[in-house]
Structure 1
Amino acid sequence: MNVHVFQAVRDKPWDLAMVTSLLIHLLVFFYFSSTVSKSIPDYGVRLDIMLQPRMQAISVMESVPAPVIPAPVIPVHKKIGGSIQEQVELVPVEVFVPMDQQQSWIPEPEELAEPVVERAVAAPLLTAMESMVELDDVSQTDFRDEMREVYLASILRIIESARYYPHSARKRGYEDVVKVSFRLMEDGSIKDLLVDGRYSVLRSAAGDAVTQSSPFPRPPESIEVPVLVNYSMIFELS
């Protein structure tokens, strides 16, 4: 049997070395542990560890200043130019409200009366009057023009009634448009008579018709005098 053990130990030298090292380390550990425990003195002190509950952080709210509430608007009456006009002046007043009353009390806005404003009526009225005057001036101008046309038409009818065709001009076959111009005065007389035409016999007949018809009726007061008359007298054989 010893021969078999020796044979097993000889075949496995590493196993024997490991077992021997383990035994030596165990002996050394137990020896040092007993020596260290004896060398530490006993002071008789007991340590008690108590766990305290964690305190919650309390946030301190900052003080909020009380809001400033504007005072109601006070209307002030001022007399301007003999009439009373209402003007509004704002007087700022600071009102401090405690924090506990801010949510429960809210001032209601006061309704303000609309300021009385005097409307200017003179300017539109003046504009309307100026427009009427302008229309009146236009109407008067149109009226004067119409009166002048009517008066000149009556003068020309008088001249035409006095016009004649000379026998010599008819015999020779003279035809022409003679230009006649003159100034008609306030009393109906004529001045600065001018006659322009191709044939002298027809010019003489046109001038005679004007001079024989004068003096003409007096022009109306609405017509400016002297009145310049330009007339084309036609001599034409039918």
Structure 2
Amino acid sequence: MVKKPQEVVQEHISKPIVTKTTNKIIKQDQQEDSIKEQKRLRFIIKLRERINHNKFYPNRAIKMGIEGSVAVEFMLNEDGSITNIHVLSGQKVFRNSACKAIEDSAPIHVEAGLFDFPKQFKVTLVYDLQ
């Protein structure tokens, strides 16, 4: 029985690339990207949990029975520090609490190579009296 030679792809003067190997490399890269994306999602979930843990309900809002939310953006730096906290929207009564919750969440450990830094995040903190 005669074996067929592996298919070879050539581009101009570059070295030949064996497609079977290339397909394996592409699949491996896709798996690595998928794993990295899962790690990013887990990090974001933990970040939100940490911020919510540091959140407090302002006394004035409790007394007045006010509920609502605040959207905030901030920069996460490679060293885990947080900078450039900006309120995007939300009731005024909750703004200081939201910013303080984010400030108190730093420093945050970030696995090397997980993001390009500085990384901007946007979160919405919900204030519910229930």
TM-score (norm 2): 0.82
| Higher relative contact order, chain-length normalized (CA < 8 Å, sep 6+) | 2
* Structure 1 residues 120 and 163, CA gap change in structure 2 (3 angstroms): same
* Equivalent residues, number: 121
Percentage of identical aligned residues: 23
2:69/2:91 contact within 8 Å kept = no
Counterpart of 1:220, as a letter, is: E
Distance 2:129 2:36 in 1: 37
* Equivalent position to 1:224, from 115, 118, 128: 115
What residue is the counterpart of 1:7 in the other structure?
Answer: none
Whether 2:91 is the aligned partner of 1:199: answer: yes
* Structure 1 residues 159 and 120, CA gap change in structure 2 (3 angstroms): same
Distance 2:54 2:85 in 1: 16
1:23-74 residue CA offsets vs partner (Å, 9 max, x unmatched): xxxxxxxxxxxxxxxxxxxxxxxxxxxxxxxxxxxxxxxxxxxxxxxxxxxx
Whether 2:6 is the aligned partner of 1:137: answer: no
* Equivalent position to 2:5, from 104, 110, 120: 120
Distance 1:141 1:118 in 2: 35
- Pairwise CA RMSD: 2.1
Larger radius of gyration: 1
What residue is the counterpart of 2:78 in the other structure?
Answer: 186
Measure how far apart 1:201 and its partner are. Answer: 2.1
What residue is the counterpart of 2:12 in the other structure?
Answer: none
TM-score (norm 1): 0.47
Unaligned runs of 5+ in 1: 1-116
Distance 2:41 2:71 in 1: 19
Distance 2:65 2:32 in 1: 48
Whether 2:54 is the aligned partner of 1:169: answer: no
Unaligned runs of 5+ in 2: 10-16
Distance 1:215 1:143 in 2: 24
